Structure 1
């Protein structure tokens, strides 16, 4: 019992480290995609509105990309839950998974840009008089940044896990039928 608990704790530690290691890409990418354009090109409030209008995806696109995460999640669940025994069905499913996994990266691009734009706006609020916000709005923005950063790390973590399991080659079946039996 104690040995099992120790193994589970070690596995949890490794998974937490893997999850937190995603921060080293999930912080700089939003800053490059969203924060820098907001900071560099904002001279007045109308500039901020124009930049945000260009950077941020529309409501319909955000909803659509979020809905596309549903088949991605289903494919991940099938990948982890069902063991495909035939090589041909495994190859077809892996192709489907690779195709669907790109949906996750589309969602990540939209969410990273939004996250970066929010960080850029917070920077402008704290360092300039270009835009202002109430303490309640600032707190809401910080909570949004932390939440979205967490979601992005989780999506990348799950995507990397799934890709690792897809790229892991199963050993070939040692049992071969005689050509006459096929």
Structure 2
């Protein structure tokens, strides 16, 4: 669930798709199959960083169009996307921060050296860094819920974002990407 399901995007297209799987150990001088267009289907994640570097090397060797260039994929990470697009007129998006478990604990009431309770604003959304498709995603309404979430998790880093109630008039939530 971490990469673009390009097969679904092109399932009824009248074209040939050759897939080249790349990881951190892929040789940079690998022969890339003959192609008209190269489409990079890897997402921004810590786990993909080295693979994206390898893909960038492979893509630099083609004289054909490259869609979703690996150098730009990092701009799609949760916190980077907000920095890039959060202030654009007409775009509504919650600010997302990447934060360590230790830092979350410091911000909680009673945390080390903390004298103000207002350091964390509720409700918020929390998820482990590297999770996708809603895995371990939670809406947290108060400090006891956040503590329960952290106590049930072994992850060391999280994404935090304010909860935004973006239900449509019919009461349903929809996620759009364009």
With the shorter chain as reference, the TM-score category is under 0.3
Q: TM-score, normalised by structure 2?
A: 0.26
Greater length-normalized contact order (CA 8 Å, ≥ 6 residues apart): 1
Give 1 or 2: higher strand fraction. Answer: 2
Q: TM-score, normalised by structure 1?
A: 0.25
Structure 1 or 2, whichever has the larger Rg, is 1
Give 1 or 2: higher helix fraction. Answer: 1
